[in-house]
Amino acid sequence: MLRLTDVIIDCPDTMALAAFYAEVTGLPVGESRAFCLCRNRGVTWTEAGPVWP
């Protein structure tokens, strides 16, 4: 069985998205909740393989 535990939604304004979902669900946006903001440039390609210890 596959269980999804995290959801990642890419958007330009994370706080606006959080406010939207807070309004939809009726749950507050709180700083005590786990939150990770990841800013990257999408998938990258490298020819170098991993270096293991």
Dump pLDDT digits (tens) for 15-43.
888 889 889 999 888 765 555 556 566 66
Cβ(33)–Cβ(21) below 8 Å: no
d(CA 30, CA 32): 5
What whole-number distance in Å separates Cα of residue 42 and Cα of residue 33?
25
**Is the separation of the CB atoms in 29 and 18 below 8 Å?**
yes
Residue 51 has pLDDT above 90, yes or no: no
pTM: 0.43
Would you state the pLDDT for residue 29?
81
